[in-house]
Structure 1
Amino acid sequence: WSEDVGTGVGAGVGPGVGAGMGVVIVDWWKGAQPPYTQAVANSRLVGASTGYLIHVLAEYYSVALSSVHLVGHSLGAHVMGYAGKYVKAVRGEKVGRITGLDPAGPYFTNTAPEVRLDPSDADFVDVIHTDIPTELWQLG
């Protein structure tokens, strides 16, 4: 990952992504910095701000919420959960999909659905785990 969204994942993303499609990259790297407990707290505000943006896009630019797909990695997975919760609370409708990539565990595992990515945050929520401790590592 890069500290400059223009040179990392976001480089080259812009017009021409696809007809009628758009990409929004939430650059919150300063808010995600240590201490981890502060980054966890900041994730709620970033999620609410992202949810507000989605609300504005739906309200003023006729973006269909069913076409919105939010993707977040680690803490960002929970940020997208908070965004989905915000949209549902404000508009009474869910975004179409949220994908969590290796959602962060500390301060989210075994907590209430209100404080973590949850299946109720979108019409479809999927999680992709690529970095899970397993007993298999001990076999080598």
Structure 2
Amino acid sequence: MRHGGGGSVWLRRGLALTALTVVLAGVGAAVGLPLLRDRSQHRLEQRAEREVTATAQLARARLLADPAAGEARLRQAADAVDGVEVLTVGSDGPRTVRLLLRVQVTKTAASVFGWQQADSAACFALAVSPDATPPALERLPCPG
């Protein structure tokens, strides 16, 4: 013989299971969302760093378009590239011009966490001469 209240046991179990599910979802969100936000920020910083290198390569290509140009024209060619600042220009031999460039990039992106921003900067040295060998970019610490 069955006594009353059998339905209330199922109701209590259902409510307890629902409460447990809500608590677990809340804990998962509290732990997971910051990890996802950090990962998203890290990816944005990596993209900014890659763009710094790409911008430096673009400046190098513009400088090598006319390697026999003088210091003033080489400075103008590097300054014309967005994000590039020429720190120093000097002669490094009779026909070689040495440039120190600072490349700065700011990347922004919309995500489910709102707007995220990453700034990246690096300095590069480049010796441009009319010789046949294209010079390599040398990454240096930026002067303080």
The TM-score, its normalising length taken from structure 2, stands at: 0.30
Q: Which has the higher strand share?
A: 2
The TM-score, its normalising length taken from structure 1, stands at: 0.30
Q: Which has the higher contact order (CA 8 A, sep 6+)?
A: 2
